[in-house]
Every structure is written in C-alpha cells, then in structure tokens.
C-alpha cells in the first residue's frame, strides 16, 4: 500500500470526520500524483509522517481521495464490506421491514462511491468511483453474503462516473431481471423498471414526503409536475383527490403511470406530456386552477457554477405553479440539487411569491427519508429539501 502525504494542517478536516481529500491538500512535491493509478488503495499521512487513514485515490479528479477507514490497520477486503453493509442494514431494519429501501447511501454509510438499493430479493448496486470499481469483486461478494439475493443489477451509468474517467455499463448477476417489478409504498402499488428506469429505478428518498402531501389532497384538484411514473400522483389520488393531472416529458413514464393508476383501481388521473414550464404556462393562459400543486424537478444544478441560472429556473417554475394555485391552495416545492441549500430554495419560493403577489407561508419543511442518512461532516449528503407552503 503506497503512502500519500498531506500538506501541513490539511488533515484537520479528516480528523473531524470528513471523508474527502482534494488534490490541493496533497504534498505534490513529496508525492507526485503521476505516481498513483486511478482507484489505487493508499495510506494517508500528515505532513509530519503520521498515518491517519486508508482510502482510494483518483489522481485525475479534484476530489482526489475518499476515505474508507480511519483505522490504518484495517484490511479492505470482502469482510470489510460485509461489516459496513451489515451495519447499514441493521440501521434500516426497524424502519423498513419490507426490505424496499436504500440500504447503502455512499459516504453516509462510510462506503463512499457506492449506492445499494434493495427491492426484496433484488439488489441494485451503483458504483460511481474508480476506487469502488477497483473493489467491485469484494463489494459484490459482500452483497451476496449479506442479502443472498436472487438477482443483482449493476447499474453503473451515473454522470459521476464520467468525472472519474469511467465508462457506463449495466450487468445482471444471478436470475434474469423481470421487465417490471412491483414496489409497495404508502399503501400504494407501483410497477417500475429497474433496468430502464431513472437512476436505480425508484426514488425512495421522497417516500415520507409523498405520504405527507397526500394528506392535503382529499376533495382537491391536484397538479403533479415532473410526475415520472406516479410516485406522488398515486397516493394523492388514493387519498381522495377529485382529480390529478400529471405532467412529465417522458411518454413511457406517463404510460407506466397510467398502468400504476389501474393497478391501484384509480380513474381520476390524467396525463400531459411535454416540457413542464411550457405546459404550466399554457395552463395559466387557459385559466386553469388547482388546489394542490407538487413541484419536484430533477436536479437542475449539476455543477456549482450553474447555480445562478438554475436558481432562476427554480423561481420560474415556482412562479408558474403559484399562478395556477387557487386561493388558500397548497404548493409542495422540492429540490434534489445538492448545490442548492434549503435557504436558497426557500428564497426562490419567496421571490416567486412576491412576483405573483401571493402571500405565502411555510407550513412544513421536508427532508430526505432516513434510508438516505446525512453525514454530519459532509453537507452534500443533505441534498433533498422541500417546503409545503400555503398561498
């Protein structure tokens, strides 16, 4: 295992519990980055030569090193992954006994660069970094030991892999993967595709927010914007909404939503396919109004430098939603962009309220579900935020 020395005082963040080391923290004179290969396991030491952690390195990236263990005597092998995954599983056992949840959430479960979702006897693994790609054999052996699944889907196609110099791929291990699987959540049933669906197939992080906003929907007319396959629409309709209109730019997603409506014996959902902002603006011109609006766009900020333009788009989306809201209506506005703080999102909603002359009040603040825990030293793991506002 090669050694890598940090600059003076660069270890403070690591000693405080953080798991990331950036390239400008490294003593490049003592350890030229060209001497390391992408994904290599290394031992990290302070400027004074004291070993403090074990991690993996990618010399091509600004976020150069991710810590695997603060125990310098730890062996990074299959047993290491078994212990980490088993610990993560135990944390979720009481909350998610049905075994449908995110079982490993990267850094928050001290396994940086990997995400593991469980769908009963199917496990989806997403590897996002060169270090975890190097350790894939041990990782998969651990997944098999902990879960004994029928099928493992390696869905390694995230944009993070591009930054790591990795190609995208999917692979199925074990039994053949069904075209659609069933997810049960909030007393609703959904069919979704793990292979062709977005991300790892389902967005577990919003499950409690879906349950919460549905309580506002009885006898209400609801608009679900960026609906995907109906994770919000279905519980709102099932909770007694008189009508739900779902907007998404993907017709296959809306077709699946229609199937999910039938699966739950619902006939109050209609769909509109196209650009969300354009459709909302058209509905405004048609004098359409709704009692409850759900606004859950995809991550609009991919890079920190895109923040200003993206915040303007969040504001435009919220303005369009508020213009469609009936008096005393309810807006649920969310963001999964880790570069947009809850303060920034609230400011976008506030500005939208001012521009539309709506006197808004925050009724509830929403967060990611506990199977997406937050690492107290890594702000980026606290990525999902939302507000239920009255207008």
- Which one, of 132, 138, 94, 91, lies nearest residue 113 by Cα? 132
pLDDT score of 265 more than 90: yes
Q: How far is 125 from 113, CA to CA, in rounded Å?
A: 11
pLDDT of residue 29: 92
pLDDT of residue 298: 86
Range in 153-167, 192-206, 220-234, 294-308 with the lowest mean pLDDT: 294-308
Q: Sign of dihedral through CA atoms 210, 211, 212, 214?
A: positive
Show Cβ contacts of residue 218 under 8 Å, excluding neighbours closer than 6 positions. 239, 240, 241
Q: Which two tokens stand for residue 358?
A: 């709506």
pLDDT of residue 310: 79
HEC sequence for the chain: CEEEEECCCCCHHHHCCCCEEEHHHECCCCCCHHHCCCCEEEEEECCCCCEEEEEEECCCCCEEEEEEECCCCCCCCHHHHHHHHHHHHHHHHCCCCCCEEEEEEHHHHCCCCEEEEEECCEEEEEECCHHHHHCHHHHHHHHHHHHCCCEEEEEECCCHHHHCCCCCEEEEEECCCCCCEEEEECCEEEEECCCCCCCCCCCHHHHHHHHHHHCCCCCCEEEEECCCCCCCHHHHHHCCCCEEEEEECCHHHHHHHHHHHHHCCCCCEEEEECCHHHHHHHHHHCCCCEEEEEECCCCCCCCHHHHHHHHHHHHHHHHHHHHCEEEEEEEEEEECCCCCCHHHHHHHHHHHHHHCCCCCEEEEEEECCCCCCCCCCCHHHCCCEEEEEEC
pLDDT score of 229 more than 80: yes
pLDDT score of 196 more than 90: no
pLDDT score of 303 more than 80: no
Residue 8: Cβ-neighbour burial (10 angstroms; 0-12, 13-18, 19+): exposed
pLDDT of residue 202: 92
pLDDT score of 6 more than 80: yes
pLDDT score of 299 more than 90: no
Q: Where are the domains of the chain?
A: 2-69, 78-174, 194-390
pLDDT of residue 311: 87
- pLDDT bracket for residue 251 (50, 70, 90): very high
What's the average model confidence in pLDDT over 370-384? 95
Residue with tokens 């989806």: 124
Residue 258: φ, ψ to 5° = -65, -40
Q: How far is 172 from 175, CA to CA, in rounded Å?
A: 8
CATH number of 78-174: 3.30.750.80
pTM of the model: 0.93
- Which one, of 374, 383, 345, lies nearest residue 362 by Cα? 345
pLDDT score of 200 more than 90: no
- For the domain made up of 194-390, give the CATH fold: Rossmann fold (3.40.50)
pLDDT score of 340 more than 90: no
Q: Which CATH number fits domain 2-69: 1.20.1070.10, 2.60.40.10, 3.40.50.2300, 2.30.130.10?
A: 2.30.130.10
Residue-averaged pLDDT of the chain: 95
Q: Are 300 and 337 in contact (CB under 8 A)?
A: yes
pLDDT of residue 201: 85
Task: Give 76-100 pLDDT, tens digit per residue.
Answer: 999 999 999 999 999 999 899 889 9
% of the chain residues with pLDDT over 90: 91
pLDDT score of 304 more than 90: no
- Which one, of 32, 56, 31, 62, lies nearest residue 43 by Cα? 56
Q: Which two tokens stand for residue 328?
A: 């005393």
Q: Are strands 63-69 and 20-22 parallel, antiparallel or unpaired?
A: antiparallel
Task: Give 275-297 pLDDT, tens digit per residue.
Answer: 999 999 999 999 999 999 999 99
pLDDT of residue 348: 95
């Amino acid at each position: 295992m090669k050694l890598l020395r940090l600059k003076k005082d660069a270890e403070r963040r690591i000693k405080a519990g953080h798991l990331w080391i950036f390239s400008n923290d490294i003593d490049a004179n003592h350890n030229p980055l060209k001497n390391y290969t992408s994904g290599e396991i290394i031992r990290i030491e302070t400027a004074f030569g004291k070993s403090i952690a074990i991690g993996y390195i990618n010399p091509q990236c600004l976020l150069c090193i991710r810590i695997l263990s603060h125990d310098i005597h730890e062996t990074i092998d299959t047993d290491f992954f078994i212990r980490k995954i088993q610990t993560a599983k135990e944390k979720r056992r009481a909350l998610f006994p049905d075994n449908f949840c995110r079982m490993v959430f990267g850094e928050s479960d001290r396994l940086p660069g990997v995400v593991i979702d469980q769908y009963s006897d199917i496990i989806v693994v997403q590897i996002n970094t060169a270090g975890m790609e190097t350790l894939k054999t041990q990782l998969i052996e651990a997944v098999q030991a902990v879960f004994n699944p029928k099928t493992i889907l390696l869905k390694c196609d995230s944009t993070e892999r591009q930054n790591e110099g990795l190609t995208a791929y999917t692979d199925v291990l074990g039994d053949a993967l069904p075209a659609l699987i069933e997810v049960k959540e909030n007393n609703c049933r959904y069919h979704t595709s793990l292979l062709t669906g977005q991300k790892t197939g389902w967005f577990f992080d919003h499950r409690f927010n879906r349950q919460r906003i549905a309580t506002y929907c009885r006898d209400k007319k609801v608009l679900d914007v960026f609906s995907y396959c109906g994770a919000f629409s279905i519980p709102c309709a099932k909770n007694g909404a008189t009508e739900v209109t779902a907007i998404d730019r993907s017709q296959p997603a809306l077709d699946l939503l229609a199937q999910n409506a039938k699966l739950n014996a619902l006939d109050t959902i209609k769909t509109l396919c196209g650009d969300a902002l354009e459709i909302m603006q058209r509905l405004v011109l048609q004098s359409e109004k709704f009692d409850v609006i759900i606004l859950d766009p995809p991550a609009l900020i991919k890079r920190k430098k895109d923040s200003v333009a993206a915040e303007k788009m969040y504001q435009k989306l919220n303005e369009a939603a508020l213009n469609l809201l009936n008096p005393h209506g309810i807006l649920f506005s969310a963001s999964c962009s880790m570069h947009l703080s809850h303060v920034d999102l609230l400011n976008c909603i506030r500005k939208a309220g001012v521009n539309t002359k709506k006197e808004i009040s925050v009724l509830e603040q929403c967060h990611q579900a506990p199977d997406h825990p937050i690492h107290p030293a890594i702000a980026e793991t606290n990525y999902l935020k939302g507000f239920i506002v009255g207008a």
